[in-house]
Chains A and B, each alone.
Chain A
Amino acid sequence: MKPIKIHTPFDDAAVTALKAGQQVLLSGIVYTARDAAHKRLCNLIANGQSLPLDLNGAALYFVGPSPAKPGYVIGSAGPTTSYRMDAYSPILIEQTGLKAMIGKGDRSPEVQNAMQKHRCIYFAATGGAAALISKSIVKCEVLCYDDLGPEAIHRLEVKDLPLLVAIDCHGHNLYHPEKSN
């Protein structure tokens, strides 16, 4: 099956068209966030404050890249394990219009319910293929939370980032093919 080319930002129609098992090549802007950044974003939402970035239609990549060597855009940049974001993702999906997440490993039923209800997609990037993945990142800048070091929110521009639709918004989950709706 040939990968299909897709790009950010996403709308409901683009998310709905994607099915679990499809290979995609993603281009456009994605934002990085790990546990610490998720916690800050959700605290802001809980306190009714505005976020330092607009997540409406956006894609979040769960990654803490290694530092860029001279002459490189970014260091190695593979996905971190996604379940650690499970407590936060439903809040972001419901409150911000977040449309896509990129990580590795299964997600909770609560995340999947929020994905189905609000049309959001979950892509798996290949864990541990971090040097290879870095070749698809053409631009990288720290957007906010610089004090978190590798956990800062970065704004990445990606070109043909190879991903797999692991959980779609129709209830199909490649980690549990037997349980999918």
Chain B
Amino acid sequence: MRYIKFEDIENAVRDLCLSAAYDLPDDVLNALQNSRSTETSDRGKMFLDQCIENAAIAATERLPICQDTGFAVYFVELGRDAQICGGTLYDAINSGTARGYQDGYLRKSIVNDPLFNRVNTGNNTPAVIHLELVLGDCLKITLAPKGGGSENMSRIKMLTPQAGIPGVINFVVNAVTEAGGNPCPPVIVGIGIGGTFEKVAYLAKKALLRKVGAPNPNPDYATLEEEILKKINSSQVGPQGLGGNSTALAVHIEYFPCHIASLPVAVNLNCHAARHASVTI
């Protein structure tokens, strides 16, 4: 058994909040640069140039890439031979999040009640924490801060098996084109297929963590990703929804076995400021 200190997690999470907010990952920046080189619309080129310049300013001056520094969403892999001492894992992550958002001058965007009492919690907690138990004695924490504008464009549908591949394609393409400029395209399209109602939403979110443009290892799904990407980019939604052929940087599908009666599908969009950062303790 390996022991991991509460403070070590808290400190690592605090640092993760800052680097995720300031540093656009290389794969996202490369994808934006590739889009810039193939974009046909002058207006689209201008917007992509601004996004690339923005990423450079944010990294150099340690400023948030986007003012919406998001809901702090964590994907945590806890080794079964690791034990947290000094407090709970959830408390360590929330405490590190509060410190990170304070120390990093990041925006606090969480209200404590969705309906009756929308008062800002003041420290961007609670975080959303997805915990997975794995082999080994390490703790891997991935933070994917999620902005509200793109999250609001999410969709879920319990299709039935007869809808098949065309049903999935239509649902996804409509979700992206009807979202227009709202989620800050070019977007990354996270798609969940299969599982249950709650599982498919989780898969769609998890799909956004994949390296931009890395195909699904299953060739059937990899081909489907390509086909959907092509359809989305021929829609002419374009950067900022104002025309062009760079509507999505990538389409990522995650799938799971499902019930004989069901074909659940979920779409979770990430804006072009697709932020994520990981640490292993």
> Do B66 and A150 have beta carbons less than 8 Å apart?
no
> Do B271 and A134 have beta carbons less than 8 Å apart?
no
- Cα distance A138–B249 when bound, in Å? 34
> Do A81 and B152 have beta carbons less than 8 Å apart?
yes
- Cα distance A80–B53 when bound, in Å? 19
Query: Which stretch, A6-14, A50-58, A67-75, A113-121, touches the partner chain B?
Result: A67-75
> Do B242 and A164 have beta carbons less than 8 Å apart?
yes
* Segment 129-175 of B: residues with Cβ below 8 Å from A: 148-149, 152
- Cα distance A80–B68 when bound, in Å? 8
Q: Which of A69, A134, A162, A175 contacts B242 (CB 8 A)?
A: A175
B108 contacts partner chain A, Cβ-Cβ < 8 Å: yes
A94 to nearest B CB, angstroms?
25
B125 contacts partner chain A, Cβ-Cβ < 8 Å: no
B109 to nearest A CB, angstroms?
7
> Do A175 and B181 have beta carbons less than 8 Å apart?
yes
* Interface class of chain B by DSSP: loop
Chain A residues near B148 (CB, 8 Å)? 80-81
Q: Which of B43, B62, B65, B69 contacts A128 (CB 8 A)?
A: B65
Q: Which of A81, A132, A175 contacts B50 (CB 8 A)?
A: A132
> Do B64 and A131 have beta carbons less than 8 Å apart?
yes
A170 contacts partner chain B, Cβ-Cβ < 8 Å: no
- Cα distance A67–B64 when bound, in Å? 10
Q: How large is the interface on A (under 10, 10 to 19, 20 to 34, 35 or more residues)?
A: 35 or more
Q: Which of B47, B107, B109, B271 contacts A75 (CB 8 A)?
A: B107
> Do B271 and A127 have beta carbons less than 8 Å apart?
yes
- Cα distance A124–B120 when bound, in Å? 27
* Segment 28-49 of A: residues with Cβ below 8 Å from B: 36
Chain B residues near A80 (CB, 8 Å)? 68, 148-149
Chain B residues near A99 (CB, 8 Å)? none
* Segment 130-165 of A: residues with Cβ below 8 Å from B: 130-132, 134-135, 148-151, 162, 164
> Do B109 and A150 have beta carbons less than 8 Å apart?
yes
> Do A149 and B108 have beta carbons less than 8 Å apart?
yes
Chain B residues near A124 (CB, 8 Å)? 181, 240, 242
Q: How large is the interface on B (under 10, 10 to 19, 20 to 34, 35 or more residues)?
A: 35 or more
B206 contacts partner chain A, Cβ-Cβ < 8 Å: no
- Cα distance A32–B43 when bound, in Å? 26
> Do B64 and A127 have beta carbons less than 8 Å apart?
no
- A66-B67 contact given A36-B118, A128-B51, A174-B242, CB 8 Å threshold: yes
Chain A residues near B53 (CB, 8 Å)? 129, 132
B273 contacts partner chain A, Cβ-Cβ < 8 Å: yes
- Cα distance A128–B275 when bound, in Å? 11
- A126-B107 contact given A75-B67, A80-B149, CB 8 Å threshold: no
Chain A residues near B229 (CB, 8 Å)? none
- Cα distance A59–B47 when bound, in Å? 22
Chain B residues near A72 (CB, 8 Å)? 63
A88 contacts partner chain B, Cβ-Cβ < 8 Å: no
- Cα distance A75–B105 when bound, in Å? 8
- A129-B50 contact given A68-B105, A75-B105, A149-B122, CB 8 Å threshold: yes
20 further A-B pairs in the complex, CB-CB below 8 A; given A106-B241, A126-B51, A131-B58: A64-B68, A64-B109, A66-B64, A66-B67, A66-B107, A67-B106, A76-B65, A76-B66, A104-B184, A105-B241, A126-B47, A126-B54, A127-B240, A128-B271, A130-B65, A130-B67, A131-B54, A150-B108, A162-B50, A175-B180
Interface residues of B (CB under 8 A from A): 43, 47, 50-51, 53-54, 57-58, 61-69, 105-109, 118, 120, 122, 148-149, 152, 180-184, 240-243, 271-273
- Return the 7 tightest CB-CB contacts between A and B, nearest first: A127-B184, A66-B107, A105-B182, A76-B67, A132-B54, A129-B54, A76-B64
